[in-house]
Amino acid sequence: MATRPKLSLVRPAARSGARDDGTAVRDDASVARDAEPIDTHDLDALFRRFAPYVARVAMRVLGTQSDVDDLVQDVFLDAHRGLRSLREAHAVKGWLATVTVRKARRRLRRQRVLALIGLDAPLDPDLAADPRQSPEERALVASAYRVLDSVSADARIAWVLRCIEGEPLERVAELCGISRATAHRRVREAQDALEGAFRHA
């Protein structure tokens, strides 16, 4: 099997860390932050606390920063209406992640439809790369997102959540509103496309 391409993307907030397999490692500060009490009526505080996380997930799914600010605003407009019943920080973060994935999926599908009928320019995947990377690494990231453009939006989202965000497969299924088996199949679809593309590159 071909080696999975290592993708390092620009992100508004640094990850807590990562294992060698790319999955996230949470440090003590991150765990403590999620255990802090939260006032779901204070939208400004919610925004300051969770907007970097929402923006990171959105940017990685979309593959560009161009629509991230608008998507974050949309997510927190929904948060104003939908978070009143949540009291724990981890529940708020999970709810925001679910809304972010849903809205990102809609944007991906809309962009693809508009591109098909010639009403929208394709996204520039170079925007997803970290400017601190070497030209070769930036080219790899851009190439990977071009391949992801060729798979379904659902497969792309599942792969990003699993292989870049490092979410467990059960969490990917939860965020996408699908079964674990379907989540696995979607991740495999995108992974197969990437491996095929890089194998023949």
CA atoms within 13 A on the CB side of 197: 20
pTM listed for this prediction? 0.64
For the structural domain made of 28-199, what CATH number should be given?
1.20.140.160
How many helices (H) and strands (E) the chain has is answered by 8, 0
Low-confidence ranges of the chain (pLDDT < 50): 1-29, 31-32, 116-122
Separation CA 180–CA 75 (nearest Å): 25
The predicted structure's pLDDT at residue 55: 94
The packing angle between helices 135-148 and 180-199, to 10°, is: 130
Q: Is 75 exposed, middle or buried (0-12, 13-18, 19+ CB in 10 A)?
A: buried
Convert the pLDDT of each residue in 88-135 to its tens digit.
666 788 889 999 999 998 888 776 655 544 444 445 555 555 566 677
The predicted structure's pLDDT at residue 19: 39
